Structure 1
């Protein structure tokens, strides 16, 4: 048995403005193998409090293994990790008291009602009956499950089960939540509803570590994204930072005046011309600096384009470039 859990001292990370902010989750040189198969080959993570961090990676990349280590479900072979200021190996009970975990597969018991699932979770958190009923009622209302609360959970739709799953995770009021593919198998409306729930959690100061097989989901929700490949972090940054790493971005100019088109083609460097549509394509990383340079050149020659569009690589391009994959990423077996 562990003794009383000491008040944690959170490690810090740096925001863009240079000020230190507490890191809810940190890992250094995290390693895990199964036999001869290396799943995690020395990964580093640092997740600021109150943010969404997404782990992306192809099949077998180790995303779920990382979540299992950080949530104390399995041990690492090497490296160190802290969650909510607690070492995952030395103080697993401290970690468990601070987190909530929603796995790939629902933890909902279909044989009992939604309300009974919630009350069971309240019992597991050692809440009094009165407090358990209060918390259950509040969360059922928050997740729009009041009407279905006394129906067997087996009758719930996929979206309702996922909402109930997250509601159960929140019974203990965790400040850090691990969401392992929370929207897999949901219809588009249910996915968007789930996105709204995640945003609401973060607005309340909760930290979310998200694994997902949907690149648009990471783009939509994550403050920072790490691409995991062959057990290593291939790249990490904001969605925009990752997109700028990949070649293929360009600015497209379209003209209706053939003379303006020809003059622009002569004034700009490295352009690809389309004489049929009177459009020019100029390689660009999409930055404000490069766009200003193009516009300054056009202004200097008194050339005005009828249409200007900026095209940057999306996360699909980033994923394929970093992992060499040809398929949409799927969750790791482990």
Structure 2
């Protein structure tokens, strides 16, 4: 029986996940993840350490088998059609995986040949990527002599050698300086413009805001919110009210009264942040609630809500799970 190709089974979704579960011993890392990633977009998975981001990526890229649920990438089941999935994807993980004994150019030419390019095409692709990631001057130096940031850029370039329809970037800009991060953002923009799908995990919330068409926030192994950056920010408060308390007792009393409504907390500055619709009536009601005598709040300020506010509103730490996520 002939395997169905990605082109023959094309759907509006490049990735479809339903009820995905994974445990390591007694530790439940994924507890029923559901995702749909539209083709030709950037989809970002956000969550604290141990929330299940890297485990999800490993399952979708066929490196780990799920315990339950289903997942299809580029129209192929990640368990039954592993080879077809691998032909349709590119993966760049959190840690550089280059051959330190080869030069930067040799690493990229090797990856091109492994991806099925001819010698001439692999050489052209290597030159293009070296220029795009500002590595041309170091092209003929051994990768083992590269700085950490240069090795990371080379690893990203290697992951983009093949023209895969679905690209997984697992915290791709960790360890890069701002200039290199911005260059990577431009590369992602170009990939989407060319019709590719990018599945991104990142620890930089502004990166998700800048790149993603849709974001899913995961916590304790499940999706707790999903939407566009604008939808998430509006859903969890268009603005943030920062309350600057007069002293420590006032700070403690306000924090206890507000409870889970606190989305930002700075104990050194005696500042609490809560979401608000920005109206005078709501601001007044919060002040009346926590400071009826008018002496506990020294001043307050309003700010536009950010993904940081959404993230802090939705997530909590998951002790112990980060060891699994880091592969330890």
TM exceeds 0.5? yes
From 313, 316, 330, the equivalent of 2:308 is 316
CA contact (8 A) 2:45 2:202 kept: yes
Q: Deviations over 1:96-151 (max 9, x none)?
A: 11110000001112221001101221232243333322332333233332222111
Match of 1:129 in 2: 119
Secondary structure, counterpart of 1:90 in structure 2: coil
Alpha-carbon shift at residue 76 of structure 1 (Å): 0.6
Alpha-carbon shift at residue 164 of structure 1 (Å): 1.8
Secondary structure, counterpart of 1:172 in structure 2: coil
194 and 157 in structure 1: CA distance in 2 versus 1, 3 angstrom threshold? farther
CA contact (8 A) 2:173 2:181 kept: yes
Q: Deviations over 1:247-305 (max 9, x none)?
A: 47279xxxxxxxxxxxxxxxxxxxxxxxxxxxxxx95279xxxxxxxxxxxxxxxxxxx
CA distance in 1, matches of 2:167, 2:39: 11
CA contact (8 A) 1:10 1:24 kept: no
Secondary structure, counterpart of 1:29 in structure 2: strand
6 and 247 in structure 1: CA distance in 2 versus 1, 3 angstrom threshold? closer
CA distance in 1, matches of 2:164, 2:38: 15
242 and 60 in structure 1: CA distance in 2 versus 1, 3 angstrom threshold? same
4 and 165 in structure 1: CA distance in 2 versus 1, 3 angstrom threshold? farther
180 and 205 in structure 1: CA distance in 2 versus 1, 3 angstrom threshold? same
Instruction: Give the alignment's TM-score, normalised by structure 1.
Output: 0.74
Match of 2:76 in 1: 86
Structure 2 residue 191 is matched with structure 1 residue 201 = yes
Structure 2 residue 91 is matched with structure 1 residue 101 = yes
Indicate the larger mover: 67-76 or 199-208.
199-208
From 45, 52, 55, the equivalent of 1:65 is 55
From 13, 34, 43, the equivalent of 2:33 is 43
CA contact (8 A) 2:89 2:167 kept: yes
79 and 235 in structure 1: CA distance in 2 versus 1, 3 angstrom threshold? same
CA distance in 1, matches of 2:278, 2:194: 35
11 and 123 in structure 1: CA distance in 2 versus 1, 3 angstrom threshold? closer
CA distance in 2, matches of 1:205, 1:188: 26
Structure 2 residue 277 is matched with structure 1 residue 284 = yes
Alpha-carbon shift at residue 242 of structure 1 (Å): 0.9
CA contact (8 A) 2:91 2:169 kept: yes
CA contact (8 A) 1:319 1:325 kept: no
Instruction: Give the alignment's TM-score, normalised by structure 2.
Output: 0.75
CA distance in 1, matches of 2:128, 2:308: 39
Match of 1:19 in 2: none
How do 1:144-223 and structure 2 match up within 5 A? Answer: 144-223=134-213
CA contact (8 A) 1:68 1:74 kept: yes
194 and 64 in structure 1: CA distance in 2 versus 1, 3 angstrom threshold? same
Structure 2 residue 100 is matched with structure 1 residue 110 = yes
**How many residues end up aligned between the 2 structures?**
270
Match of 1:27 in 2: 17
CA distance in 2, matches of 1:216, 1:55: 13
Indicate the larger mover: 102-111 or 131-140.
131-140
Secondary structure, counterpart of 1:66 in structure 2: helix
Please tell me the root mean square deviation across aligned C-alpha atoms, in Å: 2.7
Q: Deviations over 1:160-204 (max 9, x none)?
A: 323322221222211111111111122222222222222222222
Q: Deviations over 1:29-64 (max 9, x none)?
A: 111010111101110111111111111111110100
CA distance in 2, matches of 1:245, 1:283: 11
Match of 2:259 in 1: none
The structure that has the greater radius of gyration is 1
